Amino acid sequence: MSQNKGVVVEPLWPTPKIQRSGTAGPLLRQERAERTREQILHCAARIFAERGYQQTSIKDVADEVAMTKGAVYFHFPNKQALAIAVVDELYSRWPVTLEAVRGKGLSPLDTVIEMFNAATAAFLEDPIMQAGTRLQNERDAVDVELPPPYVDWTNLISMLMREAHQQGQLAQHVDPDVAARVAVAAFFGSQHISDNLNGRADFAERWREVRDTLFPALRARPSLAADPDRPVTRG
Ligand code: LUB
């Protein structure tokens, strides 16, 4: 865990609830079905993350979740539906994560950093994140159209960068939308390289390097901004 120093590691994503029969009274049928679906989705995510789309079958998922293939098909008509559900699940979490991070009451730029910290922890620990990423990386080989990658993230970070800009947190030359694209590219690129070279073993460290190199360059320097005698320079 020392790799994660300086990175948020509380899970900001839902973890699957293990179903136990006969302990908490009868569950409503729909609730039970939802739990089963969630368990299947998590097991599928683990397998997609490990083997990739092509090498995963419904039978593998059924074995992993200790159910029949029929039980899996009841919730997901085919492998394509499972892949889409994993990616949808991943993208549905970011607004929830943002809400949790907003709750910390940080400045917009520090909120950006904290969102990337949360994504870092998810890359290291969350099968839905790992599977969603692998599926998107393989999207040409997936025989169904997945939701477009990176778009939600870039929009989310752009929104925060614009807030940072409005609050005078960004250096004068920095365009908030450019900053968002550069930050997402640097973050995701460092993750991709770390994954391919080291199975993400050094990713927390690589992200800290990106963070500590990029964000000081984006940030307005308070000493300069506050100095009334500062010579006016533009461009
Ligand atoms: C995010 C992944 C994994 C980007 O937005 C996406 O498509 C994402 C998979 O493609 O995390 C995080 C910067």
Question: Under a CB-based contact definition with an 8 Å cutoff, are residues 75 and 160 in contact?
Answer: no
Residue bearing tokens 């699957």: 16
Q: What is the pLDDT of residue 110?
A: 98
Give the residue among 229, 108, 228 at the shortest CA–CA distance from 174: 108
List Cβ neighbours of 24 (8 Å cut-off, separation of 6 or more): none
Ligand 1 atom having least distance to the Cα of 137: 10
Is 132 close to ligand 1, i.e. is its CB under 6 Å away? yes
CB 83 within 8 A of CB 72: no
State how far the Cα of 174 lies from the Cα of 167, in Å rounded to an integer.
Answer: 13
**Tokens 């394509």 sit at which residue?**
80
* Cα–Cα distance measured from residue 44 to residue 30, given in angstroms and rounded to the nearest whole number: 21
Global pTM reads 0.84
186 CB under 6 A from ligand 1? Answer: no
Partners of residue 219 on adjacent β-strands: 170
Tally of CB atoms within 10 A around 141: 10
Which residues lie closer than 8 Å to 55 by C-beta, 6 or more apart? none
Q: What pLDDT is recorded for position 28?
A: 84
Helices 127-137 and 176-198 cross at an angle (nearest 10°) of: 100
Residue nearest to atom 1 of ligand 1 (CA): 150
Return the pLDDT at 212: 98
Residue 150 alpha carbon to ligand 1 centre in Å:
5
Judge if the beta carbon of residue 123 lies within 6 A of ligand 1: no
Closest Cα to atom 8, ligand 1: which residue? 150
**Which is nearest to 115 in space by CA: 161, 149, 151?**
161
Closest CA to ligand 1's atom 10:
133
Cα–Cα distance for residue pair 132/13, rounded to 1 Å: 14
Q: Which atom of ligand 1 is nearest to the CA of 132?
A: 9
> Mean pLDDT for each consecutive 10-residue tract of the chain (235 residues)?
45 56 65 94 98 97 97 97 98 96 98 98 98 97 96 98 98 97 98 98 98 98 60 51
Instruction: Compute the distance from residue 163 Cα to the ligand 1 centre, in Å.
Output: 22
Distance 184 CA to ligand 1 centre (A): 9
- The tokens describing 48, both together, are 């997609």
